[in-house]
Every structure is written in C-alpha cells, then in structure tokens.
Amino acid sequence: MAGSGTAITFLPDAAIFDTVEYAYGALAARLTELAFLNPGLDLVLTDERSPDGPQRARFRFPGGVREFVAFLDAQAGERFIADVIAFEREDPRMAGRMEVAVSWSGTHEERVRGFVNSMATHNGGTHETGLREGIAAAVDAYARAHGLLTATDPALRADRVGADLTAVVSVKLDDPELTDCTRRTLGNTAVRACVAEAVREHLGSWLEEHPREAEEAVSRILRAPVRD
C-alpha cells in the first residue's frame, strides 16, 4: 500500500454474530447517513466479491443535514415549499452543537430523524422533543400574529406539527446520556430547551421572511386532526 495511514481489518466471528457476510446495501445506507451528518467526510465503499468486477460508491454531501432532508423528501414525493430550512448552532448550555433541517411535503406523513454523535436515536429523546416544541412555538406565534389563531384558541401542542413534516436533528455532545436498554434514546435534559429555543428563533424568522410559504405550511398544520 503506497503512502501512509492506518488499515483496519475486521472479520466477524460466526460464534458471536448471527450473520458473518457483509450486506452491501446495509453498509451503503450507513455510510450515506454518516456522509450527510458529517459534511467534511468523503467516503468510498468498494465491494470486490462479485466475479463481474468491483461495485463502488462514493458518499459526499457538503450540504449536510439540508441535503439529508432534501434526500428524504425526494424519496417521499412532492415538497410544497421551495426551501429546506436549515441551521447550525453551538450552545455551551448543552455542551455541544446542533444541526437542524426542516421541510414540509405533501404526504401527510412525519419523517423525523434524530442523531447523537452520528448515531441514530431510533427511540427519540430530548433533541426530538425540543425540535417539535420549537416548531410548535414558532408556528403558534406566527399564527397568532397573523390572525390564524385567536387569543381564545389553545396553544398549539407539539404533537400537532408532525403532518407533512420532514426533519433531521443531529446533536454532537461532549457527554451524551443514552437512557434505555438499547441506548437509542437521548436523555440530556439541557438539549431539549436548547434545541427548542434555537428552532423557535430560526423557524420564526424564516416564517416572517417567507409569508406565502409560511401561510401554506402553518395552515396545513392548523388543519391537521387533533390527537386524543
């Protein structure tokens, strides 16, 4: 091997693992996630097992979570607002950094992906709770300021913002607390308030700056059925 660096070889032990053959699709899916979540990475996957020659793919997404949401929307279908709303913020109160991207599609489904230190949190956690609370607060404030909600209407609950929502919330933390037995739920309490505040501020500004798209998105959220 020319040059310098580190080569790591791993062979799964059949006495430990149920499956010892690598699945190209599973590896490609994971490297796709890593490239979206770490826009400085340039990853190449090569499978030399086929007699027809190697299968190779490159994963590089300099747009980060903004591109991730656009990718999820493209899989799902139509997106009815032109922009993916995205931002990054470092917050010492949670000893870490957040990257958030939000969009709305026309599918009436919720696609929210949460990550901590590039690992998927399949059972959610404080970062996802903060995301939904921040969206609800921004939408509620916009709706009241523009007459879509009145003073007598109840506050918009966080569980009402999911219809049509596509979002990725990724946090990089110095000391992540993963709480359940699968270690797929984020428990850091400070993250919830920090993400909610950042989403409320950034989305609130975007809504005011894009009145036509804001009215469409907010109206759809307010028309969504209320869950018991």
* Together in a domain, 26 and 69: no
Q: How confident is the model at residue 227 (pLDDT cuts 50, 70, 90)?
A: low
The enclosing H or E element of 109 equals none
Q: Are strands 119-120 and 111-116 parallel, antiparallel or unpaired?
A: antiparallel
Predicted pLDDT of residue 80: 64
Single residue among 11, 42, 62 that ends a domain in this structure: 62
Residue 228 inside a domain? The answer is no
Query: Are 134 and 72 part of one and the same domain?
Result: yes
Q: Identify the domain boundary among 32, 62, 92.
A: 62
Work out the pLDDT band at 184, boundaries 50, 70, 90. Answer: confident
pLDDT of residue 228: 56
Which range of residues forms the domain containing residue 24?
Answer: 1-62
pLDDT digits (tens, 9 = 90+) for 43-81: 999 999 988 899 999 999 999 999 999 999 887 766 667
User: Is residue 214 in some structural domain?
Assistant: yes
Q: Tell me: pLDDT of 1 over 70.
A: no
Answer yes or no: do 56 and 71 share one domain.
no
Which letter does DSSP use for residue 105 in this model? B
Same domain, residue pair 71 and 36: no
Tell me the average pLDDT of the chain. Answer: 91
| Shared domain check, 184 and 76 | yes
pTM above 0.95, yes or no: no
Interior/surface letters 164-203, b for 16+ CB within 10 angstroms, e for the rest: bbbbbbbbbbeebebeeeeebbbebebbbbbbbbbbbebb
Give the model's pLDDT for residue 129. 97
Residue with the larger pLDDT of the pair 6 and 196: 196
The total domain count for the chain is 2
29 with 3, same domain: the answer is yes
If you average pLDDT over residues 12-41, what whole number do you get?
A: 93
* Mean pLDDT on 177-206: 93
Q: Which residue, 26, 45, 62, sits at the end of a domain?
A: 62
pLDDT digits (tens, 9 = 90+) for 143-179: 999 999 999 999 999 988 988 899 999 999 999 999 8
Q: Based on the fold, state whether residues 85 and 53 are members of the same structural domain.
A: no
**Does 32 lie in the same domain as 87?**
no
User: 115 lies in a domain?
Assistant: yes
Does residue 47 sit in the same domain as residue 11?
yes
